[in-house]
Amino acid sequence: MNFKKKAFYLETFTSLSLENETIESVEFEECEFNKCSFVNCTFDGCKFLDCKIIECRFSADKLPHCRFVEVKLLNSQLIGIDWTKADALEGLEFTGCKLNYSNFRMLKPPRLKMIKCEVKEADFIEADLAGGVFTGTDFENSRFFKTNLTGADFKGARNYFIDARTNTLKKTKFSMPEALSLLNGLDVIIE
């Protein structure tokens, strides 16, 4: 599909499949994407405003100068995405998604939610995730260093290694037994 129009409002895209395509300066407002696939695509300067993305696949896509505002992603795969190239990430909510090999390094995405997601091998180094919700999410081999997790909610999250000495943990919520992993970076003996 070629996006000939530059703006879409209240439209639904179903089973759309694109590979190695470039979509430039298109605005999607209150649109819904269902069971779509975007592989090695470039979304350059696009805006996604109040959209829903359901059971879609994004693989190694590029997002230069894109804006994502109040976007809900449900049961989707977003593998190998470098979110640092986007201009704005505000109110992104991932539920039941796979975000493996993602890059959030040095970002400050307000109101970020990753609920019951799989976020393996992701980079959160020097990101500001204050107030974020990460409940029930698997963070296997993801990197947290100099990450601001003030007020973040990690209840039910698992497989994370967050060094309490090199990350900001103020009023951050964790649940047992996973919270014991916070002691791994400390020189303590627990018997």
Structure confidence by residue, pLDDT tens digits, 7-24: 999 999 999 999 999 999
Residue 107 lies in a domain: yes
Q: Which one has a higher pLDDT value, 6 or 1?
A: 6
pLDDT the model gives residue 35: 98
Is residue 172 a part of any domain in this protein? yes
Please check whether residue 171 lies inside any domain of the structure: yes
Residue 144 lies in a domain: yes
What value, to the nearest 5°, has the Cα angle with vertex 109 and ends 15 and 55? Answer: 15
Domain assignment of residue 159, given as a range: 70-186
Q: Which two tokens stand for residue 95?
A: 């539920």
User: CATH number, domain at 170?
Assistant: 2.160.20.80
Residue 184 has pLDDT above 80, yes or no: no
Does residue 170 lie within any of the structural domains? yes
145, part of any domain:
yes
- For 93, the token pair is 């909510």
Q: Does residue 8 lie in a domain region?
A: no
Query: What is the C-alpha to C-alpha distance for residues 133 and 112, in angstroms, rounded to an integer?
Result: 7
Would residue 149 be called left, alpha or beta, if left means φ above 0 and alpha means ψ between -120 and 50 degrees?
alpha
**57 falls within a domain:** no
Residue 178 phi, psi dihedral angles, 5° rounding: -60, -30
Contacts of residue 167, Cβ cutoff 8 Å, sequence gap at least 6: 144, 145, 146, 147, 148, 149
The average pLDDT across 27-36 equals: 98
pLDDT in tens, 40-96: 999 999 999 999 999 999 998 899 999 999 999 999 999 999 999 999 999 999 999
Mean pLDDT of 153-162: 93
101-157 tens-digit pLDDT: 999 999 999 999 999 999 999 999 999 999 999 999 999 999 999 999 999 999 999
Q: pLDDT tier at 185 (50, 70, 90 boundaries)?
A: low
What pLDDT, on the 0 to 100 scale, is given for residue 2? 62
**Number of compact structural domains in the chain:** 1
pTM comes to: 0.91
With bands split at pLDDT 50, 70 and 90, how would you rate the model's confidence at 4?
A: confident
Q: pLDDT higher for 187 or 178?
A: 178
What pLDDT, on the 0 to 100 scale, is given for residue 189?
61
